[in-house]
C-alpha cells in the first residue's frame, strides 16, 4: 500500500511543493487508506457516555429521558453485517470499482457517533 500511496501523492502533488487540503480530492487511494486505518484500528473503541435529553426511540427501542448511552464504535467498525471481512485490512472497500472515487459510508465513525 505504501508504494501506491507514494505514487499517488507524487502524481498529484509532485516534489516541488507540500500537499494542501484540496489535494485529498485527487488522491482517492490515500483517502481510502486513511479511512480503512480509522476503521481497522479504532482510536476510541468506546465513545464518551451520553445522556438522552428527552424520551425517544432508537430502532424501535424506547429510550427514556436521562438514560445513559454508551456507543461501541469498535463493534460498528467490525460488524460482519456492515463490512465484508471486517478483520481484514482492505482500503479498497472505500473505493468504487474503478478506484477513482472514495465511497462514503455512515458506518465509518472514527471520532464519535454525534450528539
Contact between 29 and 98 (Cβ < 8 Å): no
Three-class DSSP category at 50: strand
Say if residue 114's pLDDT is above 70.
no
Would you say how long the chain is, in residues? 115
Task: For residue range 62-80, list pLDDT tens digits in order.
Answer: 999 999 998 899 999 999 9
Say if residue 115's pLDDT is above 80.
no
Gap between the Cα atoms of 12 and 16, Å rounded:
11
**Global confidence as pTM:** 0.85
Amino acid at each position: 500500500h505504501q508504494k501506491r500511496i507514494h505514487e499517488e501523492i507524487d502524481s498529484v502533488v509532485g516534489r516541488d511543493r507540500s500537499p494542501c487540503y484540496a489535494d485529498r480530492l485527487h488522491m482517492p487511494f490515500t483517502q481510502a487508506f486513511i479511512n480503512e486505518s480509522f476503521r481497522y484500528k479504532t482510536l476510541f473503541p468506546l465513545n464518551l457516555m451520553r445522556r438522552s435529553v428527552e424520551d425517544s426511540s432508537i430502532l424501535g427501542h424506547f429510550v427514556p429521558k436521562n438514560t445513559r448511552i454508551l456507543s461501541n464504535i469498535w463493534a460498528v467498525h467490525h460488524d460482519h453485517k456492515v463490512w465484508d471481512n471486517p478483520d481484514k485490512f482492505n482500503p479498497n472497500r472505500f473505493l468504487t470499482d474503478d478506484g477513482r472515487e472514495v465511497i462514503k459510508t455512515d458506518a465509518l465513525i472514527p471520532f464519535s457517533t454525534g450528539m
